[in-house]
Structure 1
């Protein structure tokens, strides 16, 4: 694979003696471990610079390996960055799911999810998520890896929300005739609010973003109680 930056070749050649020792140590690690270390190193780079601004040399430097090591394990920089984005997104939603599972009921679980979706810290997540979207449209992707990855992330996210609603209906906490429709609206509103939050056009605080989602829940998931 050609280096993402032309100067990668020179960097690799200049550091061969030092890399030779490190590479010998790394041969004792399984391929999966070395791939994971490289992908882990790419996550903060994407968050800080954006997908389009990260190259093979950047990833190699962050992972503490040679450019050749990176290109040996990955067929393209797009493959690295795609896996890095998926890793971040899966961790993010796994944490949300864990919080929801520990909630006392579905109503509390949805409130926890909404609170977690919009914080000052989650602006970083939303930047990566929208970068992930645009990368799929921008890159030549004959295997549709980005598109299929995005579809899987949305499918998992929708399943999580729908399961909470259906559990609330089964427990008598909610009344909802169309859990699937509610899920679509909840996810769409979340994305729209997140994009407005990042662009601040018009300005949107985390508190106001949460309030809009609270209102959707209150208006569509009514209880039979007083």
Structure 2
């Protein structure tokens, strides 16, 4: 449920290793190694360059604050959870600030992260996962739901778009169950013919819905994000 993220072990690539790679793999690796956000992720110890997408969104819109409860959907490898931990003070490192909480969900295994409780091998589309979240969340409610999740690529752009929108809609079912009134949601989608349907559903649930494309989201990518704020509980 996640995009490719270059790991630290990939920075130093031997000539023998390069020879074994396909031309497409070589192009991808070359792009990663020259990417300033990949370099920044290494230097700042983030698990993936995608951390900077959330950082940019939050720097501008201030949705993550100390003391808030966060649900990170499709959390692997944990970069967005890292940002959330820092900004809601879920480790309690800043004793003078309220202590928040972060719960990450993914089908994949995620390495432990201080300040986060990961629900691995959990499907965000499964109602049993929703029930588990209600049990774990303070007062059974979240202040912010984040999603950088994506389906495994099929190679068919329209099908991938449809699958991601379906996942986002399932996340909205979760929002209706656990999101606190006035809460916020950030979800990735790939531009396509169903994006308007997703936006309409969000507009029914939130007072403010807008499309954002962070600088860390590559220009050639169809990747966009909906930022929805001020949740309206039915």
User: TM > 0.5 between the two?
Assistant: no
Q: TM-score, normalised by structure 2?
A: 0.29
**Bigger share in strand:** 2
Q: TM-score, normalised by structure 1?
A: 0.30
Tell me which structure has the larger Cα radius of gyration.
1
